Amino acid sequence: MKHALILSAGLAISLAACGQNTEPAPIEAPAAAPAPSGDMAAMPMASAEAEKTDVGTGMITAIDAAKGAIMIDHDPMPGIGWPAMSMRFKAGPTVIEKAKVGERVQFDVTVRGRESEVTAIRPE
């Protein structure tokens, strides 16, 4: 955790991009500019955000099976512009079952907007 705290001071922007920032997305202007109904193309920041995938390495530091999440202290991932950091990932049952705290793994990650999901892990 010490590692994460030190990093968080200078990497707020990166963390936000990485899904660790808990702040809600910027609030859209309320009634100022009513969007035409049903026009999803007019909402570039909506859930249709581009999906990115990459393969990373790191150490599993915590597992939250109930919430379907794991924490990984991961190495830099230049493919998606992430520096090394400790962060929380969404993870399905298959990943959770194989995960062990303290184990270094190689993992596949899919990033959708602020959400990052580990879709597979294997021994590094």
Contact residues for Cu ion, defined by CB under 5 A: 18, 82, 85, 87
Task: Return d(Cα 91, Cα 30) in angstroms, integer.
Answer: 34
Give the nearest distance from C-beta 25 to Cu ion in angstroms: 18
Give the nearest distance from C-beta 73 to Cu ion in angstroms: 9
Q: Which is nearer to Cu ion, 18 or 91 (CB)?
A: 18
Task: Return d(Cα 2, Cα 80) in angstroms, integer.
Answer: 24
Q: Which is nearer to Cu ion, 11 or 96 (CB)?
A: 11
Q: Which is nearer to Cu ion, 87 or 95 (CB)?
A: 87
CB 16 within 8 A of CB 114: yes
In the three-class reduction of DSSP (H, G, I as helix; E, B as strand; rest coil), residue 32 is classed as coil
What phi and psi values does residue 120 have, to the nearest 5 degrees? -165, 145
Give the nearest distance from C-beta 42 to Cu ion in angstroms: 31
Task: Return d(Cα 51, Cα 45) in angstroms, integer.
Answer: 12
Give the nearest distance from C-beta 29 to Cu ion in angstroms: 31
- Strands 85-91 vs 115-123: parallel, antiparallel or unpaired: parallel
Q: Which is nearer to Cu ion, 85 or 118 (CB)?
A: 85
